[in-house]
């Protein structure tokens, strides 16, 4: 049952009593009457505060997508850059394969641009079929043609589930596709399962600042759409001998209101791709300032890695946002993650806890980071890091 909370304008006197009752700031005044906005989380706090009883709840009428049963198959949008399929697409094929086997349905990869060789790779990574549109309009990412073609394909072929990477490309165009086909979209899922009783997709992701894991379902509309950040899922099995079908899609009536003149790759140290390195030396408020990060950088360089940071360090302005790890930063899973002066708040942990080995350096023995650490060093990072650097240099020079 879906509940809607609303203000009955005939009873509202505009007294504004309800405004402070909402912990989500979801009530505002419109034309001298209270109005409940889309930020309402259905907590019902406001129901009892209105002296006139003007705030009411009712069962909302959900207009279902007709014939949900017609929607079949699981699609993975295989994002490419410069013709090369992104790793996140292979990770999605891993989870997509598992879901397809549970539902006993077909796994389809959708590839815009790129080459037939890359389409064949998608089959080896688990797709049963690839819908490949090699049109040159897809050479560079551009919202308009991406939105147009994916929407057309979904309308014509009716997939039950559509997955894409929560990358700048996926985040940019997928919400527009979801809006056009009148369905929901759950961003940044950390886990995807099939509900045995209903066959619905359970879309699991952190909510309320990472303090709870929410399971989101889309029971009344199709397709069920979700994005997953890179490196959250593991790739499936690569099978050189796997066979599948590649269907070439002709792009018709595609247009673009913008023209990409050229793409410039950022080369500064700040742009280092944390999601691709094997070692990350990450610093938090305990690092004490921008100078402290030089020590972390020295260790990262020695280990062939990169420097990460907590939000506290980024907010202090000690290091650019592109280094931030966590819920509102990057999700990483390196072989080695060294957390220096980071307390281990849940919002940081969700971004790094799938690292293979975690080493924590913190002067507080009760810091929560030690709960996820494989090795913990209790002490001052300014004393420990120089010792570590010295020892690694000694080992390296034999
Ligand atoms: C919606 C939301 C999203 C968020 N997103 C993120 C996110 O993406 N990433 C993120 O990191 N945070 C995020 N946060 C913030 C998060 O809640 C924490 O505030 C943040 O992670 C704390 O950073 P910190 O561990 O560096 O700082 P603190 O919590 O202040 O911890 C500093 C630690 O350093 C230790 N220390 C101090 N001096 C030394 C020393 N000399 N040697 C060794 N140890 C020392 C202390 O013992 C302490 O444990 C988010 C918060 C919210 C509400």
Bridge partner list, 350: none
Pocket of ligand 1 contains residue 324 by CB under 6 Å:
yes
The token pair that represents 68 in the structure block = 């949900």
pLDDT (0 to 100) of residue 327? 87
Residue ranges of the alpha helices (H) in 158-289? Answer: 168-180
Cα-to-centroid distance, 271 and ligand 1 (Å): 22
Cα-to-centroid distance, 347 and ligand 1 (Å): 9
Nearest in space to 88 (alpha carbons), one of 163, 160, 184: 163
Domain positions in the chain are 3-59, 68-248, 270-396
Cβ-based neighbour number of residue 12 at 10 Å: 20
Pocket of ligand 1 contains residue 286 by CB under 6 Å:
yes
Superfamily grouping for domain 68-248: HUPs (3.40.50.620)
pLDDT (0 to 100) of residue 182? 93
User: What are the pLDDT digits (tens) for 142-180?
Assistant: 999 999 999 999 999 999 999 999 998 999 999 999 999
Contact 305, 332 (CB under 8 A): no
DSSP strand pairing (191-194 vs 201-207) = antiparallel
DSSP-derived secondary structure for 257-317: S----------SGGG--TTT-SEEEEE-GGG-SHHHHHHHHHHHHHTT-EEEE-HHHHHTT
User: What are the pLDDT digits (tens) for 170-210?
Assistant: 999 999 999 999 999 999 999 999 999 999 999 999 887 66
Atom of ligand 1 nearest to the CA of 329: 8
Report d(CA 394, CA 398) in Å as an integer.
Answer: 6
Contact 392, 281 (CB under 8 A): no
Atom of ligand 1 nearest to the CA of 342: 25
Cα-to-centroid distance, 310 and ligand 1 (Å): 6
Burial category of 1 from C-beta neighbours within 10 Å (exposed 0-12, middle 13-18, buried 19 and up): exposed
Nearest in space to 326 (alpha carbons), one of 8, 180, 364, 313: 313
Q: Which of 285, 325, 339, 384 to mutate to test the pocket of ligand 1 (most atoms within 8 A of CB)?
A: 285
Residue keyed to tokens 């390196």 = 334
pLDDT less than 50: residues of the chain: 270
Architecture of domain 3-59: 2-Layer Sandwich (3.30)
pTM: 0.67
Report d(CA 117, CA 95) in Å as an integer.
Answer: 22
The per-residue pLDDT of the chain, averaged, comes to: 92
Angle, alpha carbons 10-14-15 (nearest 5°):
130
Q: Do domains 68-248 and 270-396 have the same CATH topology?
A: yes
Contact 338, 352 (CB under 8 A): no
Report d(CA 344, CA 367) in Å as an integer.
Answer: 7
Architecture of domain 270-396: 3-Layer(aba) Sandwich (3.40)
pLDDT (0 to 100) of residue 375? 97
Cα-to-centroid distance, 343 and ligand 1 (Å): 5
- The number of residues in the chain equals 398
Q: Which of 348, 381, 384 to mutate to test the pocket of ligand 1 (most atoms within 8 A of CB)?
A: 348
pLDDT (0 to 100) of residue 231? 82
pLDDT (0 to 100) of residue 361? 98
pLDDT (0 to 100) of residue 189? 94
Closest C-alpha residue for ligand 1 atom 27: 285
pLDDT (0 to 100) of residue 270? 45
């Amino acid at each position: 049952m879906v509940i809607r909370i609303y203000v009955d304008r005939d009873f509202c006197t505009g007294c504004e009593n309800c405004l402070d009752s909402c912990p989500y700031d979801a009530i505002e005044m419109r034309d001298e009457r209270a109005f409940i906005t889309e930020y309402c989380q259905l907590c019902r706090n406001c129901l009892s505060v209105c002296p006139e009883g003007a705030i009411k709840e009712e069962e909302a009428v959900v207009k279902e997508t007709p014939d949900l049963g017609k929607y079949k198959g699981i699609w993975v949008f295989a994002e490419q850059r410069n013709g090369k399929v992104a790793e996140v697409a292979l990770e999605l094929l891993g989870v997509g394969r598992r879901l397809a086997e549970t539902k006993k349905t077909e796994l389809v990869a959708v590839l815009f641009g790129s080459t037939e060789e890359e389409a064949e790779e998608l089959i080896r990574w688990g797709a049963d079929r690839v819908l490949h549109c090699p049109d040159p309009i897809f050479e560079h990412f551009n919202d308009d043609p991406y939105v147009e073609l994916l929407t057309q394909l979904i309308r014509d072929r009716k997939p039950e589930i559509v997955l894409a990477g929560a990358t700048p490309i996926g985040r940019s165009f997928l919400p527009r596709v979801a809006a056009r086909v009148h369905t929901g979209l759950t961003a940044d899922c950390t886990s995807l399962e099939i509900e045995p009783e209903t066959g619905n997709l359970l879309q699991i992701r952190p909510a309320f600042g990472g303090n709870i894991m929410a399971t989101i379902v889309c029971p009344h509309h199709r397709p069920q759409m979700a994005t997953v950040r890179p490196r959250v899922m593991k790739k499936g099995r690569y099978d050189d001998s796997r066979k599948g079908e590649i269907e070439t899609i002709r792009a018709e009536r595609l247009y673009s209101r913008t023209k990409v003149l050229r793409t410039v790759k950022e080369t500064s140290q700040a742009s280092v791709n944390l999601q691709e390195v094997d070692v990350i030396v990450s610093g938090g408020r305990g690092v004490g300032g921008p100078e402290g990060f030089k020590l972390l950088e020295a260790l990262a360089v020695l280990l062939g890695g990169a420097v990460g940071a907590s939000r506290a360090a980024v907010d202090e302005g000690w290091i650019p946002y592109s280094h931030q790890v966590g819920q509102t930063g990057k999700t990483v899973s390196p072989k080695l993650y060294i957390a220096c002066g980071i307390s281990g708040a849940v919002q940081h942990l969700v971004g790094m806890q799938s690292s293979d080995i975690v080493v924590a350096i913190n002067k507080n023995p009760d810091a929560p980071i030690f709960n996820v650490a494989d090795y913990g060093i209790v002490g001052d990072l300014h004393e420990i890091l120089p010792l570590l650097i010295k020892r690694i240099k000694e080992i390296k020079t034999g």
